[in-house]
Amino acid sequence: MRILVTGKNGQLGKSIHKVISANAKTDNNQNSNQFIFVGREELDLSRENSISHYFDDNDKFDIIINCAAYTEVDKAEEEQNLANQVNHLAVKQLAQIANKQQAKLIYISTDYVFDGESDRPYMETDAPNPINVYGQTKLAGEQAVQVTMPTNAIIIRTSWVYSEYGNNFVKTMLRLGQERDELSVVGDQIGSPTYATDLANAILEIIQNKEFKGAKQTTQIYHYSNEGEISWYEFAKEIFEITQIDCKVNPIATEQYPTPARRPLNTTMDLNKTRFYFDIFDWKNSLNECLEIIK
Ligand SMILES: NC(=O)c1ccc[n+]([C@@H]2O[C@H](COP(=O)([O-])OP(=O)(O)OC[C@H]3O[C@@H](n4cnc5c(N)ncnc54)[C@H](OP(=O)(O)O)[C@@H]3O)[C@@H](O)[C@H]2O)c1
């Protein structure tokens, strides 16, 4: 199979690359797949022409894994058109191309499609209601996939993604924890962290799955995160505990940390549908694993 992975320089793109490289040494099946990783230099999702040229100039693909996205939640409030182009219109174009090439599409979405007002974990079937531009554009991307590809696509909603790569909460806390004696971190936003390596493994399991590879399957949404409901404050405390960084963490309320984009308060996602198919790992175990690599 020829498998295209967009966003090669992002956290998830790099994590997929890492897992494939590790598997390639032991797993013959993976070796029969040809993975093509592209960044914005090869395939710029902000330009319709760049997308069509890329697919015109390359052989057809069997699977497209779209890890590229406009992910700057606060900046998206100002750059609405760009965020919409990358997270929605480009995704629609990818879905149209996937249809034409009879390829499957995996689209990564976010817990920020929800408004965070629920008093129980969100199920895949719950009505989304994004409260910021980033969430709105990602939801528009989901809907474009569902309309354009009623079959042959998978939408994976994930949350609080971190890894040894790029910028993320874990790496920011490690830096600030070493610079300061005390930190204030939001304590009333609840969610579940996702180690990008765990998500990468789940995606690679999907593409090896016979049902996914086989005849047309109805397009499905899955929620994927690590196990555990925590606040950013608890996340920070655990990072310092594991790394033995001596930095006091104080919980603050969302109102005390104003940001251009509103954040949903509780976006914990129900994982029961996903748990049926995939391994879900405890958030502390995965955090330990990532911190071990960063060390
Ligand atoms: N990070 C999170 O906490 C989080 C939470 C929920 C859902 N998600 C979703 O998970 C997926 C993976 O996220 P991630 O954490 O890996 O994001 P990331 O580290 O920010 O990577 C996103 C990648 O998209 C690329 N990109 C941005 N604009 C582009 C464009 N116009 N053309 C081509 N590529 C472009 C970026 O390229 P450059 O490297 O060149 O900038 C970057 O490599 C995304 O769909 C995201 O929406 C992420």
| Residues 34-77 pLDDT 10s | 999 999 999 999 999 999 999 999 999 999 999 999 999 999 99
What are the tens digits of pLDDT across the range 236-263?
999 999 999 999 999 999 999 999 999 9
| Distance separating alpha carbons of residues 194 and 177, to the nearest angstrom | 21
Q: What are 162-182's pLDDT values in tens digits?
A: 999 999 999 999 999 999 999
H-helix or E-strand spanning residue 249: strand 248-252
The answer, yes or no, to whether any atom of ligand 1 lies below 6 A from the CB of 39, is: yes
Binding site membership of 163 for ligand 1 (Cβ less than 6 Å):
no
Report the pLDDT averaged over residues 214-241. Answer: 95
Alpha carbon of 246 to those of 46, 179, 186, 295: distances in Å?
A: 43, 10, 19, 16
Dihedral sign for Cα atoms in the order 4, 10, 12, 15: positive
Q: What does 34-75 look like in DSSP terms, one character per residue?
A: EEEEE-TTT--TT-HHHHHHHHHHS---SEEEE------TTG
> For residues 69 and 134, what is the distance between their CA atoms, to the nearest angstrom?
10
Q: How much distance in Å is there from the Cα of 81 to the middle of ligand 1?
A: 16
The candidate with the shortest Cα–Cα distance to 225, out of 198, 246, 185, is 198
**pLDDT tens-digit map of 74-126:** 999 999 999 999 999 999 999 999 999 999 999 999 999 999 999 999 999 99
pTM for this predicted structure: 0.96
d(CA 253, CA 187): 6
Counting DSSP H helices and E strands in the chain, the numbers are 12, 12
Residues in the chain: 295
User: Given this model, what pLDDT does residue 213 score?
Assistant: 79
User: Are the C-beta atoms of 18 and 200 separated by less than 8 Å?
Assistant: yes
pLDDT of residue 274: 92
Ligand 1 pocket residue status of 9, Cβ below 6 Å: yes
Token pair of 237 as six digits: 């405390």
Banded model confidence at residue 215, pLDDT cuts 50, 70, 90: confident
| pLDDT for position 88 | 98
Question: Is 19's pLDDT higher than 90?
Answer: yes
Nearest ligand 1 atom to the CA of 8 is 43
Q: What is the largest CA-CA distance in the chain?
A: 57
Give just the sign of the alpha carbon dihedral 73, 145, 53, 208: positive
For residue 30, pLDDT over 60 is answered with: no
Question: What's the CA gap between 104 and 3, in Å, rounded?
Answer: 9
Catalytic residue among 107, 112, 122, 134: 134
Asked if residue 45 has its Cβ within 6 Å of ligand 1, the reply is yes
Task: Report the chain's mean pLDDT, rounded to a whole number.
Answer: 95
**231: CA distance to ligand 1 center in Å?**
23
Mutate to test the pocket of ligand 1, among 161, 164, 170, 199 (most ligand atoms within 8 A of CB): 161
Q: How far apart are CA 94 and CA 51, in angstroms?
A: 8
233 is catalytic: no
pLDDT range class, residue 277, cuts 50, 70, 90:
confident
Residue (of 199, 32, 6) closest to 98 by Cα position? 6
